[in-house]
Amino acid sequence: MPSTKVDMIRQMKIYQTLAKWIAPGLGIKRWLFLQFTGFGLISLALAALFSTLAARQSDNPLLLSPILIAILVVAGIAGVVIGLIGFSNALVKPFRTNRRDTLVDTVYAYNKRQKGLRVVAIGGGTGLPASLRAMKPYTSHITAIVTVADDGGSSGRLRKELGVLPPGDLRNNIAALAEEESLMTQLFQHRFSGGDLGGHAFGNLFISALAAVTGSLESALVETGRVLNIQGQVFPATMDDIDLVASVRVGNKVQTIRGESNITAANGHIEDIFITPRDVKAFSGSVNAILNAEVVVLGPGSLYTSIIPNLLVPGIQEALRQTAALKIYVCNIATQPGETDNFSVADHVLALESIIGRGVLQVILANDNFTPINAGANTRYVRMVPDGHEIFQRYAIYYADLVDEDRPWRHDPVKLAAAILQPNAAEKLLSQHLISREMPSVVKI
């Protein structure tokens, strides 16, 4: 007998749970009965078979013909299999009402992703989501590290009015790791077109409100990931409030420009870039993810306003130097006005070296498809590394067709996934590079 009131309540809950399991209408008892019947038929057939082999007496009550034994075995196996499938579907159906794929496809994809590499992707803007979409079919162990220096659009307004970290890049990358066809994901990306909320994305408001409710942006990101059931996690590079500042040469004059959105709007040449305050603390989750990663991917994305702001956080830089992960830079397909006008792949790499130093990255992945189809008049492709350039001595250069055929200034996620995650491709490049630093390390796939 229960000795306390707590024990009595616990036992009552157990009885209530059992009562629910055996109550009519649950839709699982019929499948269990079918499985038990199948096992019974198989047991009967085996008993008859053993009895026939041992006794061989015509008056044995279990003596059955081989054909009847075979029928019992087949019927029993069919009952067990059909009952198991029905039972499994009945259990998981309430949790997958919006799923379009079959149960076996869901289980297979889940287990495949669970065996995937531990990948960290660093960036922001519209480029980083392309990397995430490329990788999420292959692994669930993805961490996106996102800049929080954005000061324009909806994010900038929320940052000024509510004092929150800009949620826009966080939102885009959370959506990239979610099921894109999900109604919740579409709602998350919905942008209001009028009224006081005009220009705001619902996801930005959601994250900001959840940060206020939970007391921290960290908790808000965790809960948002649960709501959208994302494959991986999204972290900010830092939880500190930062601004991006650049020295920009416009004509013959160098101007100090504050604010990410203002830097590109100046339409000049960026000579120096930094964050204020400079001594911010990196988010611990981001640092640990980098240290424990097997592959770290920088980009794609705006070089000075999406990728480099993350690298300006001291703790992120230090983690990149310490990690044993393979580090790959995915260069943009097209140049960006006000940031990388007339840049080649080599210019992008040298800009990164000016921030994190030499020898941190190992593989450079760049596009070699400069199609004019759908490119439009304003697209300027990033040029390949000039022959004999010094970066050949420091990095493995890895070329592939990466363009989205409809929007060739952007990366195609499928092509990007093949280039990054195809078996041992990057490892082979790195091995080749380490064996001979005197030979230009260029590979076309």
| Distance between CA atoms of residues 421 and 110, nearest Å | 17
Q: What pLDDT, on a 0 to 100 scale, did the predictor assign at position 427?
A: 52
Confidence check: pLDDT of 95 > 90: no
Q: Are residues 300 and 255 in the same domain?
A: no
The torsion angle over the Cα atoms of residues 383, 133, 400 and 351, rounded to 10 degrees, is 30
* Domain presence at residue 201: yes
Q: Are residues 52 and 132 in the same domain?
A: no
Confidence check: pLDDT of 437 > 50: no
Q: Average pLDDT of 378-405?
A: 93
* Domain presence at residue 422: yes
Q: What pLDDT, on a 0 to 100 scale, did the predictor assign at position 99?
A: 55
Confidence check: pLDDT of 114 > 50: yes
What 403-406 contacts at long range (C-beta under 8 Å, 24+ apart), as own/partner pairs, is 403/333, 403/367, 403/369, 403/371, 405/371, 405/373, 405/374, 406/374
Q: Are residues 148 and 57 in the same domain?
A: no
Q: Are residues 79 and 132 in the same domain?
A: no
Report the first-to-last Cα separation within the chain, whole angstroms: 73
Q: Are residues 211 and 269 in the same domain?
A: no
Q: Are residues 89 and 174 in the same domain?
A: no
Q: What pLDDT, on a 0 to 100 scale, did the predictor assign at position 212?
A: 92
Q: Average pLDDT of 339-353?
A: 96
Q: What pLDDT, on a 0 to 100 scale, did the predictor assign at position 3?
A: 57
HSE on the CB side for 241, CA within 13 Å?
10
pTM above 0.85, yes or no: no
Q: Give residues with Cβ within 8 angstroms of 40, minimum separation 6.
A: 76
Q: Are residues 337 and 203 in the same domain?
A: yes
* Domain presence at residue 103: no
* Domain presence at residue 288: yes
- For 393, phi and psi rounded to 5 degrees? -80, -10
> What CATH number is attached to the domain comprising 414?
3.40.50.10680
Q: What pLDDT, on a 0 to 100 scale, did the predictor assign at position 55?
A: 60
Burial class (CB in 10 A: 0-12, 13-18, 19+), 28: middle
Confidence check: pLDDT of 438 > 50: no
Domain range for 74 = 5-95
Confidence check: pLDDT of 106 > 70: no
Confidence check: pLDDT of 442 > 70: no
Contact predicate 244/238, CB 8 Å: no
| Distance between CA atoms of residues 427 and 263, nearest Å | 37
**Confidence grade of residue 14 (pLDDT, cut at 50, 70, 90):** confident
Q: Are residues 254 and 290 in the same domain?
A: no
Q: Are residues 215 and 348 in the same domain?
A: yes
Q: What pLDDT, on a 0 to 100 scale, did the predictor assign at position 435?
A: 42
Q: Are residues 115 and 69 in the same domain?
A: no
- Each residue's pLDDT tens digit, 223-246: 999 888 888 999 999 999 999 999
* Domain presence at residue 104: no
Q: 3-class SS at 69?
A: helix
Q: Are residues 375 and 231 in the same domain?
A: yes
- Each residue's pLDDT tens digit, 235-287: 999 999 999 999 999 989 999 999 998 998 998 999 999 999 999 999 999 99
* Domain presence at residue 390: yes
Give how many domains the chain has, as a whole number.
3
Q: Mean pLDDT lowest for which of 135-139, 158-162, 188-192, 365-369?
A: 135-139
| 440 or 118, greater pLDDT | 118
Confidence check: pLDDT of 62 > 60: no
* Domain presence at residue 100: no
Confidence check: pLDDT of 1 > 50: no
- Each residue's pLDDT tens digit, 289-325: 999 999 999 989 999 999 999 999 999 999 999 999 9
| DSSP-derived pairing of the beta strands 363-367 and 396-400 | parallel
Q: Average pLDDT of 335-350?
A: 94
- Each residue's pLDDT tens digit, 22-56: 666 666 778 788 888 888 888 888 887 777 766 65
- Each residue's pLDDT tens digit, 115-171: 778 999 999 888 899 889 888 888 889 999 999 998 888 888 999 888 899 999 999
- Residue from 280, 362, 375 nearest 327 by CA: 362
Q: Are residues 286 and 423 in the same domain?
A: yes
